Amino acid sequence: MMKEIKEKLISLKGEGLFREIKDIDKLEGKHIWMEGNKYLDFSSSNYIGFRDDRRIIDAAKDALEKYGMGSGASRVVVGTASLYKELEELIASEKKKEAALIFNSGYDANLGIISTIIGKNDVVFCDKLNHASIYDGIRLSGAKMIRFRHNDMKDLENKLRMFRKGYKRALIVVDSVFSMDGDKANLVEIVRLKEKYDVTLMIDEAHGGGVLGEEGLGLAEELGILEAIDINMGTFSKAYGSQGAYVAASKEIIDYLINHCRSLVYTTSMPPVVVGASLEAMKLTKNEKERRDHLKYLGDYLRSRLNEAEIDTLESTTQIVPVVVGDNDETLGLSVFLKDHGIMAPAIRKPTVTTPRIRISLSSNHSKEDIDFLVETVLEYTNRKRSKKDKVIKWVKNVLHKTHNQEKKDKKNIQ
């Protein structure tokens, strides 16, 4: 076995795709400190600045004092601090569902929920760009997976028409905001289709929660369709600046999960200190409309400046903005160039995505001037690339021109 592992590692390194976990020295506001340097941070999902919000830290401290550190065992075995119940009731009422349940992470939630509510004789319709945890949940369930083209409602309907009838239970599952492209699911149309074809709908609001909607409840709130979502899942690990995940649904679905969901039953529950932080974050988001509006403004401004310079931002309409500048190497080159100029923004390359890009995560902590600095640094890189490319093209043209003239001369001489 070791031989295969070693070979795989060598080939990863050869392709420049080997990953290492880097040390972060400090995180504060919109900055990140690494390897002794300070960077303007466009890499974190700290969308509304909750990561180091005093009010949330204080709530966590209170929970820590009251309940201690560990939670001791699975919730199903010994029960959990009343903080859990308070958070679950708050989520259920805000998401307009009968009940809710907390998970230790978004990954645990998707893996457990999907593999519990559907099985071998069922079918799942899955957007191609859904998060990896959704894919893993479907695979674990043993259900038939039908992938539809990203956000393509015609393709989804065709596939529903073709495959829905042959299966007992059916599920459509989509990210509400897609984590690499920053575009929104076409939820209104999906709701129409799920009703027409009698399918259960599950959404993952990991990147919509805290960010979209008047009260920050996500895309379903923004579109006014909270009631139409059967299973509303999301995480506390992104905008809420905490850790863990939730699902809101009917009382029956939640009871069923409590009894059968293995990623809930067979794991020690999250420490109350984290639940205390999530609860406070959930309460506070309602009143952070100003931060949300500022975040939206920053996204629109960044896209308009980049698009003006003919830099593609794909279909992004949110706080996640892909910046497309070329192939894997060119994209990695830009990431290094940004870092050299004090900006942290990751290159996301093939095979993770089909179109290599720099993935910008905006935060309400950023200012318009931060965006200007980012754009100008990106442009400096692309202009240099362009002028280098122009030079090469000029040189090639020149050479071709010379050979052409030489050929003409040669021909003349022969004649």
Ligand X SMILES: *Cc1c(COP(=O)(O)O)cnc(C)c1O
- The site for ligand X (CB under 6 A) is made up of 105-107, 110, 131, 133, 175, 179, 204, 206-207, 235, 237, 245
- Residue 5 or 21 with smaller CB distance to ligand X: 21
Going by C-alpha positions, the residue among 382, 87, 388 that lies closest to residue 244 is: 87
- How far apart are CB 285 and ligand X at their closest, in Å? 17
Q: Quick check: helix, strand or coil at residue 31?
A: strand
**Tell me, what DSSP letter sits at residue 52?**
T
- How far apart are CB 238 and ligand X at their closest, in Å? 6
What is the rounded CA–CA span in Å between residue 194 and residue 228? 10
**Tell me, what DSSP letter sits at residue 312?**
B
- Residue 238 or 305 with smaller CB distance to ligand X: 238
Q: 3-state SS string over 162-217?
A: HHHHHCCCEEEEEECECCCCCCECCHHHHHHHHHHCCCEEEEECCCCCCCCCCCCC
CB 137 within 8 A of CB 111: yes
Going by C-alpha positions, the residue among 46, 409, 76 that lies closest to residue 260 is: 76
Q: Quick check: helix, strand or coil at residue 20?
A: coil
- Residue 110 or 151 with smaller CB distance to ligand X: 110
- Residue 352 or 405 with smaller CB distance to ligand X: 352
Kindly list the distances between the CA atom of residue 144 and the CA atoms of 4, 25, 122, 197, 261, in Å, as whole numbers in the listed order.
31, 45, 6, 17, 20
- How far apart are CB 235 and ligand X at their closest, in Å? 4
- Residue 302 or 320 with smaller CB distance to ligand X: 320
- Residue 229 or 378 with smaller CB distance to ligand X: 229
- Residue 59 or 113 with smaller CB distance to ligand X: 113
- How far apart are CB 131 and ligand X at their closest, in Å? 4
- How far apart are CB 391 and ligand X at their closest, in Å? 41
- How far apart are CB 398 and ligand X at their closest, in Å? 50
What is the rounded CA–CA span in Å between residue 384 and residue 401? 25
Neighbours of 341 (CB within 10 A): 16
Closest CB to ligand X: residue number: 106
- How far apart are CB 11 and ligand X at their closest, in Å? 28
Going by C-alpha positions, the residue among 168, 126, 129, 166 that lies closest to residue 145 is: 126
